[in-house]
Every structure is written in structure tokens, then in C-alpha cells.
Amino acid sequence: MPNSTNRSLDNALAGGALLCMMLIPVLEMLLRPWQARGIDNAASLVQHLGLGMSMLGALAAERHAGLARLGNVGRYFNHPRASLYTQTAGLVLSAVMCGGLSFAGLELAVSEWNSNHTLSYGMPLAYAQGLLPLGFALIGMRLGARAVMAWGGDALPGLPGLTGLTGLMGLRGLGASVLAHAGALAMCALGYTIAQMGLVEDAPKVLVYAALITMLALDAPIFAVMAGLAWVLFAGEGLPLASLALSHYQITINPSLPALPLFTLAGLLLASGQSSQRLSRLFISIFGAGQIGTMIAVAVLCSCFTALTGGSGVTILALGGLLMPLLTQAHYPERQSMGLITSASALGVLLAPAVPLIMYAIIAKIPINTMFVAGIVPAIVMVTCLVVLGLVLNRGQRDRSNPADPTSTAQDPAAAPPSRVALVMQSAWDARWELFAPVVAIGSLVSGLTTPTESAAITALYAALVQVVFKKDIDAKAFWACLTQTAQLIGGVMLIMGLALGLTNYLIDQGIPDQAIEQFQSITHNKYWFLLGLNVFLLICGALMEIYAALIVLVPLLLPLAMSYGVDPMHFGIIFLANLEIGFLCPPAGMNIYFASAVFQKPIHEVVQSVLTPALAFFLGSLILSCAPILVTFLPDLFQMSR
């Protein structure tokens, strides 16, 4: 990411908020033994810092079009300007939507202002809630300004030879910027006025839904489309738009939610240094440098690294260029190597402290430490399926030669090679700081000594001290870059989560889960037929939906249905996440294939072909987990963990 991004005001504020989120819980824990109360209302303060961080992070992400989108249909038209025109239309509609969201957030903040509630040290709670309308307004301004500036150097439709809006008026530099922001302000004001006057209630529903579908197809951010759909549904029932802002506010201040950005920060810090090289040497030394050993090492390493970093895309970017030569040196076929790295990077969502695992625990109201333990055996099952099926289907292409150990450096030919045990011990010692990170993250939480937020804060601080102070892998500038990148990543996720929750709440209020239970029970009462259908349905959803939106929208709807068939919520969560892993490998929403295409410099269709076998392995693994719930419940029951 360019350095200029890290110096922008929104990045500075978002990074500062995240830094405070890391330090305040640790200070609170240190002050508790010495003072009666520590920091005033520390937990709520951290939660509302998370609200500010998410809004500012989303604003910074939109600066570089970093908010999640489905795609732009304009690229498929045989017209040189089609993509530009359709993208601009999507930006305009999104800016109008943000204006409406700003009105909803303002209504919520005004209602809180009258209640005189305080946050910490006498600061009114309404100040923190004011970040909602302000954040949506600023995001809308940025979307609208990009829409206007996109036309700056292009011919106007129907007027060949004339320049765009800014060029037509002879504006450049500051003048063009002023015009762009004036146009953006008009778009946001239009959305605000539509919301204020309640015009959506009276609009033809066919026209409104057509506009939403158009937004999705025109490269509009996913959060804007979800907000629009919820807005229409709320208006149809006469519900105030402030209810949508309230849903967004409620999820962003969830007591466990600050753990998401803090665990993600810890992972990015570890990924930014030399941790990937140290861990790869360790896993290769453990499993061996032969073809099978290297394959197992890569699968396990990618899974663990994704769990630490919180994103499979980060794993591909950090490890792809490192692991591909190791597999090649072990004479593993190139296409299978690409598929192995791309797919194994998705397996980490079942391992602690993966963000989707934490999110499911929050949504399903299961203790986070219980879900951490429940995911261990299923993760082993999925890795085993990936490795075994890969070996079976590629047995004719395996080279059984014993290549040189890729972890070793050039040595004196007369010197005896180090023993296997010596290599493992040396590699483990080199990676001792990385190996202790999961102990810090999981041990502090499972022990019950810390809350999820405190555990995440300790883990992030540990990763920062290791990388900046002890190992000196990164400097202060790189540490700040990790803060801002985390804020941008989580900011975009939180926008989707908050607005998806509003949509989910509406569906629950309308009794959709109860209706689904009645419909499915009328089709079959057999638990295993239901689980088979559930796996197929989730496989399709994983290919079409972004994972965080799927968690927020589908879990509250499907969990009651699964429980009606006697499926344990913990078991359902593992099935859910195991199937969404497959979605990482399936277009159009499977982001792993796009990251792999960029890292390995291969066409998308080649990457898709390379992950067909792993996708089949994942599906078989999901069926095994569905039919054998003891694989999920054994460890939590063994340790008598609460559910």
C-alpha cells in the first residue's frame, strides 16, 4: 500500500483508535490490582473505539476502492467506455444510499442525546454515536466524488470530442476537486432528503428492487446494496430507518467484537516479518523434505498461518512465493502445487483465533473458547482429506526421488548433514516466538483469566513486541502500516456485518426461520437428509456470498432450523464454516482464486482448474463432519467446556 495512504487523516485516526483498543485492555488489567476500578468503563470505551475505527477504516478503504464489491458488468460489454459508465452509475447510487444511512444514524444519535447517557469520564454517549451519521456521510462524499472525477478526462456520452465534466468547465486541480465534492454533496443530500421525506415507502417496488439489482451489477459496494434492501423492507413495514442504524450500532459495540481487529492485527504483524520463513523451515523439518512430507507441511502451515493472520488472502500473498519453489523442488506438479497453496489457505477458518470462528461464536452466543477447541479436530479432518485425496488422484504424477532438504543451506560436502532431530530442534528454536503466539492467544482465553477482548489485546501487544522489539523484523513505520491496513480491512467487514444484521433482524421479525422450519419438516424429518441438503445449500452460498455477510445473514436463519433437527449449535457452526471454506475457491465470490492468480501470475481459469480436487476434498470432509458430530463435540465435552 502506498505510504501516502498511511499519512492521510482517516488512516491516522483509524490507526490511533486501533492502537488505543490494544493498549486500554492491557492497562486495565495492570491497574486492576492497584486500583479499585482501573480505567472508567474500559470495556465500553474499547467497544466504541471499535465503532470509530471501523467507520474511519471503511472511509480509508474506500479511498482506494477497497470496499468489497461483486463485480462490474460493464467489462463484459464490447464498448471502450462501458465499464467506466456502469461503475460511475454504481458509485452515484451508492452515494445516495449513504445519504439515507446518514439520516438514519443522525436519528439514532439525536434520540440518545435526549437520554443523557455517558460513555466514560463524563463524555456523552451521543458523541460516539455521532460517528455513525458522520462516517456514512463521509463515505458517501468519497463515493460521489470518485463518480464525478471518473468523468474528468473522458468524453461525455453523446458528445464525442468534448471532455468530461471537469474538463468541460476548464477546471483542473483544486477546481476539479471542489466540483467533485459539490456533486458528491448533492448526491448525499438527495439520499438524506429521500429518507427524511419517506419517499421509498411510496415508490413502486419493482422500480426500487430493479435499482438494487442494478447497484449490485454496477460495482456498487456490497454494504450499500444490503443497506438498500433493508431500507426497502423496513419502509414496507413502516419501521423507522433508525432501526437500521441501531442494528449497525449494536453489532459494532458487541462486547466480544473488539477481538476481531486485535487478532487480525496480531496476524498481520506476524505476516509482515520473517515469521513465514521461520515457520516454513520448521514444518518442512518436521514432515520431511520429500514430496509427501512437503505437501503435508504446506497444507498444515497454510492452515495455521491463515488462522493467525485472519485472512486466507494474506496467507497466499505472504507464503505463495515462498512455498511454490519448495513444492517444485520436491518435484510436485506445478498446477497441483498452485491448487494446494490456494486451497490450504482457506482451511484456517476452523482454527483459533480465526476471525470467522470468532464471529460465529458471537452470533450463535457460544463461548469463544469453546468454539476454539471445537475446531481443532475438524481442521485436522479437513487437512487430512485434502492431503489424502491429493495423493490418491495424483499418484501417477508423484516423483519418489528424495530431493535435497530445502530447509538446509549450502554446506561443506565433507561435513555430515545434521540429523532430523537436530534440524527440528533448531527450526523450533528459531520460530520459538511464533510458536508461543497461539499459546498466548488461546491459553489466556481458555484459562478463563481474560475476556476475549483482553486476550486479543495481549496477543496483539505480544506480536508487536516480538516483531518490533525482540526480532526487529519490522520498524515503527511498518508497525503503523499494519495498524492502518487492519483498520481498513475490518472497517469494510464491519460495514457489511452491521447492515447485514439489520436485514437479518427484519427477516427474523417476519418469522422467516419459523416458516423455514415448517417447510423443511414437511419435506423430511430425517436429520441426515437435512444435513446433506444443508451442505449443498451452503456450498452454493459460499460461492455467491462474502463470508462475513453469509455469517450475519444465514446463521440466525439456519441455526434454529438445524436445531429443530437435533443438530448441536457447535456442530452446525463447524459444518457452516467448513462449507464456506469451499466458497473461497469458487467464483464469483471466491477471493482465493483472484489472489492466487495475481501471486502466481496465472489466468483465472487455470487457478480454478487447480482447485477442483481440493474443493472435492473439502466437500467430502464437510460430509464426514456432518455425519460424525463426535468429531466436533469430543474435545469440548472432554474438557467440560460450557456451551
Per-residue pLDDT tens over the stretch 188-203: 999 999 998 888 777 7
Which one is predicted more confidently, 400 or 304? 304
Residue 68: C-alpha distances to residues 249, 462, 605 (Å): 20, 30, 22
Q: For the chain, give the longest Cα–Cα distance.
A: 86
Q: How confident is the model at residue 376 (pLDDT cuts 50, 70, 90)?
A: very high
Contact (CB, 8 A) for 277 and 322: yes
What are φ and ψ of residue 223, in 5° steps? -60, -35
Average pLDDT over residues 454-477: 91
For the chain, report the end-to-end CA distance as a whole number of angstroms: 41
% of the chain surpassing 90 pLDDT:
23
d(CA 409, CA 414): 14
Residues 6+ apart with CB under 8 A from 76: none
Per-residue pLDDT at 465: 94
d(CA 12, CA 242): 29
d(CA 357, CA 298): 22
* Nearest alpha carbon to residue 221 among 482, 487, 18, 494: 494
Per-residue pLDDT tens over the stretch 109-123: 888 777 777 888 878
> Which DSSP symbol is given to 72?
B
d(CA 260, CA 361): 12
d(CA 245, CA 290): 55
Give the helix ranges, DSSP H, for 411-546.
Answer: 420-430, 432-438, 444-446, 452-464, 476-509, 512-523, 527-544
Which one is predicted more confidently, 582 or 545? 582
3-class SS string, 514-529:
HHHHHHHHHHCCCHHH
Helices 512-523, 547-564: axis angle to 10 degrees equals 60
Per-residue pLDDT at 80: 52
User: Radius of gyration (Cα) for the chain, nearest Å?
Assistant: 25
User: Residue 603 CB: number of other CB atoms within 10 A?
Assistant: 9
pLDDT value at 318 more than 80: no
Per-residue pLDDT tens over the stretch 418-450: 677 888 899 899 989 888 888 888 788 777 778
CA triple 269-275-278, angle to 5 deg: 175
Q: How confident is the model at residue 568 (pLDDT cuts 50, 70, 90)?
A: very high
Q: How confident is the model at residue 70 (pLDDT cuts 50, 70, 90)?
A: low
Per-residue pLDDT at 65: 64
Domain ranges for the chain, please list them.
69-252, 259-409+417-484, 507-638
Coil, strand or helix at 274:
coil
> What mean pLDDT value characterizes the chain?
81
Per-residue pLDDT tens over the stretch 469-481: 998 889 999 999 9
Q: Which string of DSSP letters, residue by residue, matches 303-338?
A: HHHHHHHS-HHHHHHHHHHHHHHHHHHTT--HHHHH
- pTM given for the model: 0.80
In terms of average pLDDT, the best of 130-144, 342-356, 534-548 is 130-144
In terms of average pLDDT, the best of 262-271, 374-383, 493-502, 542-551 is 374-383
pLDDT value at 72 more than 70: no
* Nearest alpha carbon to residue 587 among 574, 603, 601: 603
In the block, cell 474499547 appears at: 46
Per-residue pLDDT at 461: 95
Per-residue pLDDT at 483: 93
Task: Indicate the burial class of 123 (C-beta count within 10 angstroms; 0-12, 13-18, 19 or more).
Answer: middle
Contact (CB, 8 A) for 482 and 449: no
19-23, 116-120, 240-244, 460-464: which has the minimum mean pLDDT?
116-120
133-142, 204-213, 454-463, 617-626: which has the minimum mean pLDDT?
204-213
Per-residue pLDDT at 574: 96
Contact (CB, 8 A) for 596 and 555: no
d(CA 236, CA 334): 54
Per-residue pLDDT tens over the stretch 222-236: 888 888 888 888 888
Average pLDDT over residues 1-24: 77
3-class SS string, 565-634:
CCCCHHHHHHHHHHHHHHHCCCCCCCHHHHHHHHHHCCCHHHHHHHCHHHHHHHHHHHHHHHHCCHHHHH
d(CA 80, CA 626): 49
Which one is predicted more confidently, 402 or 178? 178
d(CA 368, CA 441): 12
Average pLDDT over residues 520-529: 86
Q: Which string of DSSP letters, residue by residue, matches 143-190?
A: HHHHHHHTTTTSPBTTBTT---HHHHTT--THHHHHHHHHHHHHHHHH
168-172, 257-261, 294-298, 484-488: which has the minimum mean pLDDT?
168-172
In the block, cell 474511519 appears at: 56
Residues 6+ apart with CB under 8 A from 510: none
